[in-house]
DNA sequence: GAAAAACTATGTACACCATACGTAAGAGTG
DNA sequence: CACTCTTACGTATGGTGTACATAGTTTTTC
């Protein structure tokens, strides 16, 4: 067995190759009509339109007008297809700014990431089996780190802060996606909140009950445009950056 | 309208009833041997032992020695079972401390949450369809909010900060779980990092490459006990709390 | 040129999944 | 007792990812 790719080859090797190089087109056989790129784009189309749960290999194949198994000639598994989709949907990050206003830059970066999640909510539901290693995702990270270094952090600190920020945006986006996508124009949206409010026994959740009551009194959420960060997230990131500023400015470290 | 169960009732009503009350045992028929609690505990056992991907209704039923469909007499869907599992596995949060050291208290709270995720990594992979509304999870949140209020935040600010913190811990735990669970004693663990390092072209990722090089030089990760927060996360939360302290102490607000 | 090799697309087949439906038996109530 | 409700089970359906063998097409090699 000549094993042009060493049998299964390293999982990771194959993965990285597909993520970074696309598919090295075979020299010998007939020219492939199907390409990795076309498959990924079709899959993204399906996910955007009908959600991740309806995405299946056969659905993707149908979208392209090919048989199910043809897909596997270009993409070895559904898991990897999802990974490719996530990286492709992330796309190019916003252009990096050369500014001293690093806090503003980070906030804008977060706004763009937020917008991406609004555009492709299914990204949040892809089970991630390892740290993201796609080219686009790494580019996003690179841009973010740049601003954090301007802010005065050391390398490892910047990395920690970067992952922290990504988590915060992801988490907020997930909550947002769950709320907006949860009910399909069924009951009045207040229903859920009201039901839950009954369950929050002030004796059992003294703090939560108080906070909840205070919050629901002046509930005006604005028609979240989609591109701007919600106030909650802006607050969280803002405080985080404040803390970083203090840290970077302190002499002791 | 009392509508004890009103036919199918609202999805949400059923959900909440199961989460909070367990199962109101039917009066009429034979005494049920199977209980919701036993099912959830069995499912958790399976997930702890073999991971979430091997968890199926038939696997759970087999674990208990019952037929597959009997499970559905107590739990209406797999989705809801997962939700019940998540809440049960979260368990009781650590006892709330009455201390003025709110920053320390939050860090300890985060440490406990971290430990929970280490103990039941599959929680991180449960697709969450809406904001968590289980009793245990709300108790966790309640405890956290208490400390944030001590720190001087207003109600809505505390809620935002609380969700932010949960996201940060979740995100870090996810990365950690991915790394430790990723390779099953196959290649040397450095392999992945090395392969990736080759791909990180300094021209394309100037910042990332620099940070990566600096980090890998003094890579000593310590045998992460499991209960203590990793340094990355401690740093992130620490800066966040610093920022909150500044905010709460500032007169303008 | 001819032959061989390599690669693509397809069809069939399998194991597994969640779960809808129908049936039988048991426990409680009148 | 008869009646009703609930549980537990067996069967069945439509879906999934993907292994495997096959047939067709193009490029390389002799």
pLDDT digits (tens, 9 = 90+) for B82-117: 999 999 999 999 888 888 899 999 999 999 999 999
Q: Which nucleotide is nearest to A72 (CA to C1')?
A: D18
CA distance B198 to B252: 50
Contacts of A208 in chain B (CB under 8 A): 138, 141-142, 145
Amino acid A153: pLDDT:
93
Q: How near does any CA of chain A get to the CA of B23, in Å? A: 16
Q: For residue B152, what are the CA distances in angstroms to A229, B1, B129, B251?
A: 24, 42, 32, 12
Amino acid A102: pLDDT:
95
Most confident of A237-241, B11-15, B187-191, B217-221: A237-241
Amino acid A6: pLDDT:
31
> What value does the mean pLDDT of chain B take?
82
Instruction: Give the alpha-carbon dihedral of A85, A165, B134, B3, to 10 degrees.
Output: -70
Give the CA B142 to C1' C17 distance in Å. Answer: 38
Yes or no, beta carbons of A131 and B232 under 8 Å apart = no
Q: Is B30 left (phi over 0), alpha (psi -120 to 50) or beta?
A: beta
pLDDT at B13 over 80: no
Q: Of A159 and B16, which is predicted with more confidence?
A: A159
Amino acid A217: pLDDT:
65
Comparing CA positions, the residue from A133, A193, A176, A241 lying closest to residue B182 is A133
Yes or no, beta carbons of B178 and A138 under 8 Å apart = no
Quick one: tokens of A204? 């059992």
Q: What angle do CA B169, B173, B175 make, to 5 degrees?
A: 120
Comparing CA positions, the residue from A36, A47, A41, A45 lying closest to residue A71 is A36
Q: Of the ranges A72-86, B184-198, B221-235, which one carries the lowest mean pLDDT score?
A: B184-198
The count of CB pairs under 8 A between chains A and B is 204
Comparing CA positions, the residue from B119, B125, B128, B127 lying closest to residue B48 is B119
Yes or no, beta carbons of A242 and B238 under 8 Å apart = no
What would the pLDDT profile of B109-147 be if each residue is shown by its tens digit?
A: 999 999 999 999 999 999 887 778 889 999 999 999 999
Number of residues assigned to chain A? 253
Amino acid B166: pLDDT:
97
Q: How near does any CA of chain A get to the CA of B30, in Å? A: 31
Quick one: tokens of B204? 């394309």
Identify the residues numbered 151 to 210 in chain A whose C-beta atom is closer than 7 Å to any atom of strand D: none
User: pTM, whole model, 2 decimals?
Assistant: 0.88
Q: Are A102 and A151 in contact (CB under 8 A)?
A: yes
Give the CA B16 to C1' C22 distance in Å. Answer: 30
pLDDT at B1 over 50: no
Yes or no, beta carbons of B235 and A155 under 8 Å apart = no
Amino acid B228: pLDDT:
81
Interaxial angle between packed helices B36-50 and B78-90, expressed in degrees from 0 to 180 and rounded to the nearest 10: 80
Comparing CA positions, the residue from A168, A210, A166 lying closest to residue B148 is A210
pLDDT averaged over consecutive 10-residue blocks of chain A (253 residues)? 34 69 64 85 94 92 91 90 93 87 96 96 88 89 94 92 96 83 48 68 84 68 63 96 93 61
Amino acid A220: pLDDT:
54
Yes or no, beta carbons of A240 and B238 under 8 Å apart = no
> Which of A127, A163, A205 has its CB closest to that of B138?
A205
How much of chain B exceeds pLDDT 90, in percent?
48
Q: How near does any CA of chain A get to the CA of B233, in Å? A: 7
Q: Is the CB of A47 under 7 A from strand D?
A: no
- Helix H, strand E, coil C: the string for chain A is CCCCCCCCCCHHHHHHHHHHHCCCCCCCCCCCCCCHHHHHHHHHHHHHHHCHHHCCHHHHHHHHCCCHHHHHHCCCCHHHHHHHHHHHHHCCCCCCCCCCCHHHHHHHHHHHHHHHHHHCHHHHHCCCCCCCCCHHHHHHHHHHHHHHHHCCCCHHHHHHHHHHHHHHHHHHHHHHHHHHHHCCCCCCCHHHHHHHHHHCCCCCCHHHHHHHHHHHHCCCCCCCCCCCCCHHHHHHHHHHHHHHHHHHHCCCC
pLDDT at B2 over 90: no
Q: Is A119 on the interface with B (CB under 8 A)?
A: no
Q: Is A9 on the interface with B (CB under 8 A)?
A: no
Give the CA A66 to C1' D14 distance in Å. Answer: 22
CA distance B12 to B51: 28
Q: Of B177 and A109, which is predicted with more confidence?
A: A109
Give the CA B39 to C1' D10 distance in Å. Answer: 21
For residue B9, what pLDDT band results from cuts at 50, 70 and 90?
very low
Contacts of A13 in chain B (CB under 8 A): 195
Amino acid B219: pLDDT:
55
CA distance A67 to B184: 34
- Helix H, strand E, coil C: the string for chain B is CCCCCCCCCCHHHHHHHHHHHCCCCCCCCCCCCCCHHHHHHHHHHHHHHHCHHHCCHHHHHHHHCCCHHHHCCCCCCHHHHHHHHHHHHHCCCCCCCCCCCHHHHHHHHHHHHHHHHHHCHHHHHCCCCCCCCCHHHHHHHHHHHHHHHHCCCCHHHHHHHHHHHHHHHHHHHHHHHHHHHHCCCCCCCHHHHHHHHHHCCCCCCHHHHHHHHHHHHCCCCCCCCCCCCCHHHHHHHHHHHHHHHHHHHCCCC
Q: Are B55 and B13 in contact (CB under 8 A)?
A: no
For residue B150, what pLDDT band results from cuts at 50, 70 and 90?
very high
Amino acid A127: pLDDT:
85
Contacts of A20 in chain B (CB under 8 A): 199
């Amino acid at each position: 067995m000549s094993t042009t790719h060493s049998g299964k080859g390293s999982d990771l090797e194959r993965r990285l190759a597909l993520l970074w190089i696309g598919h090295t087109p075979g020299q010998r056989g007939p020219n492939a009509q199907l390409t990795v790129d076309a498959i990924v784009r079709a899959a993204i189309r399906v996910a955007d339109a009908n959600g991740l749960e309806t995405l299946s290999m056969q659905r993707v194949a149908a979208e392209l007008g090919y048989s199910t198994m043809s897909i596997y000639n270009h993409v070895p598994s559904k898991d990897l297809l999802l990974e490719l989709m996530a990286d492709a949907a992330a796309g190019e990050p916003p252009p990096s700014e050369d500014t001293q206003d690093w806090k503003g830059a980070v906030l804008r970066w977060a706004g763009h990431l937020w917008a991406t999640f609004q555009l492709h909510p299914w990204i949040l539901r892809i089970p991630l089996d390892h740290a993201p290693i796609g080219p686009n995702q790494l580019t996003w990270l690179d841009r973010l780190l740049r601003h954090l270094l301007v802010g005065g952090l050391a390398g490892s600190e910047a990395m920690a802060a970067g992952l922290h920020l990504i988590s915060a945006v992801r988490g907020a986006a997930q909550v947002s996606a769950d709320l907006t996508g949860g009910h399909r124009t069924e009951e009045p949206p207040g229903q859920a909140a009201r039901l839950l409010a009954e369950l929050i026994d002030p004796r059992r959740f003294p703090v939560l009950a108080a906070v909840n009551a205070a919050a629901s009194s002046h509930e005006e959420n604005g028609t979240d445009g989609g591109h701007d960060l919600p106030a909650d997230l802006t607050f969280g990131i803002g405080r985080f950056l404040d803390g970083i500023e203090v840290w970077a400015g302190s002499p002791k470290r």
